[in-house]
Amino acid sequence: MIIKEIIVVEGRDDTTAIKRAVDADTIETNGSAVHMSVLEKIRHAQEKRGVIVLTDPDYPGQRIRQIVQEYVPGCKHAFIDRKDALRKNGKGLGVEHASPHTIREALKHAHTMMEAPVEQVSKKELIEAGLIGGPKAKARRELLGKRLNIGYSNGKQLYNRILMFQISNEEFVREMSRILQEEQDD
């Protein structure tokens, strides 16, 4: 699988994992304190070939996404679930631990964040669906993030991602119905 866009990752081990999975070029941020010269490289890459941001599913990874999105709007974002990014012994989390299949799937489902999102799903709907607060909220958010290919997030981040990725109310309701039905079947 050849990827036209340049993939932004956190470090050298992530680049190695990407190259095992696909034929692609990468830009490494070398941590969450993204240097201005790296942001300029990402901006240039976006202008020439496009960019996909694929960072670790943790706080520093989210911080890098936000920095890149603010400085270089219009990049695509790919997400890997936490469980798919864990080292086999459970100690360590990152893109470098994901399987080639997981990386390919994440890249296939990359989304572009929208600059001026149109509200489609309300916070009230997230609360009513049991995604914010309640005993099953975290598990439901995890499943919904996976099904919508927007990654796991807390309630506030979920709302923002739904807006940024322009998830339709219809798509939200369909996936939540499936999740609730699966809970009843268990």
* Bridge partners for 77 per DSSP: 53, 111
Cα(87)–Cα(148) distance, integer angstroms:
24
pTM of the model: 0.70
Q: How far apart are the first and last CA of the chain?
A: 37
More confident residue, 134 or 57: 57
Span 20-27, average pLDDT: 96
What does the pLDDT look like over 126-149, one tens digit per residue? 999 999 988 899 999 999 998 998
DSSP character for 72? S
Residue with tokens 């914010």: 132
The alpha carbon dihedral of 105, 109, 113, 118 has a sign of negative
Q: CA of 15: how far to CAs of 69, 86, 173, in Å?
A: 20, 17, 37
User: Taking 80 as the threshold, does the pLDDT of residue 122 lie above it?
Assistant: yes
What does the pLDDT look like over 61-97, one tens digit per residue? 989 998 999 899 889 999 999 889 988 877 888 999 9
Structure tokens at 87: 């080292």
Cα(149)–Cα(81) distance, integer angstroms:
9
Question: Residue 117 has what pLDDT?
Answer: 47
- Mean model confidence pLDDT for the chain: 90
Question: Residue 151 has what pLDDT?
Answer: 86
**8 Å CB contact between 1 and 100:** no
Question: Residue 26 has what pLDDT?
Answer: 97
Cα(121)–Cα(162) distance, integer angstroms:
7
Tell me the domains of the chain and their CATH numbers.
1-113 (3.40.50.140), 115-186 (no CATH)
User: Taking 60 as the threshold, does the pLDDT of residue 116 lie above it?
Assistant: no
More confident residue, 141 or 156: 141
**8 Å CB contact between 18 and 24:** yes
